[in-house]
Chains A and B, each alone.
Chain A
Amino acid sequence: MSTLHTVNKSPFERDSLSACIRLASKGHAILLIEDGVFGAMAGTDHSDMVSGAMKDATIYVLGPDLAARGMSEDRVIDGIQVVDYSGFVELTAKHETCQSWL
Chain B
Amino acid sequence: MAIKKFMFVNRKAPYGTVYALESLEVVLIGAAFEQDVSLAFVGDGVYQICKGQSTDGIGMKNFSPTYKALGDYEVTKLYVEKESLEARGLTLDDLMPLVWEDEDDDYAEKPSIRLVSSEELATVFDEQDVVLSF
Q: Do chains A and B touch in the complex (CB under 8 A)?
A: yes
Interface residues of A (CB under 8 A from B): 8-10, 12-13, 34-35, 38, 41-45, 47, 63-65, 67-72, 75, 84-85
Interchain CB contact (< 8 A) of A69 among B43, B50, B89: B50
The residue of chain B having its C-beta at the shortest distance from the C-beta of A72 within the complex is B52
Q: Is the CB of A45 within 8 A of B50?
A: no
The interface-forming segment of B12-20, B106-114, B122-130 is B12-20
How many chain B residues have a CB neighbour from A under 8 Å?
Answer: 25
With A13-B43, A13-B44, A64-B58 as known contacts, state yes or no: A69 contacts B15, CB within 8 Å. yes
Min CB gap A41→B, angstroms: 6
Min CB gap A67→B, angstroms: 5
With A64-B57, A68-B53 as known contacts, state yes or no: A43 contacts B89, CB within 8 Å. yes
Q: Is the CB of A67 within 8 A of B13?
A: no
A75–B51 alpha-carbon span in the complex (Å) = 14
Q: Is the CB of A12 within 8 A of B87?
A: yes
A91–B44 alpha-carbon span in the complex (Å) = 28
- Specify which chain A residues have a CB less than 8 angstroms from the CB of B66 in the assembled complex: none
The residue of chain B having its C-beta at the shortest distance from the C-beta of A12 within the complex is B44
A10–B12 alpha-carbon span in the complex (Å) = 9
Q: Is the CB of B13 within 8 A of A70?
A: no
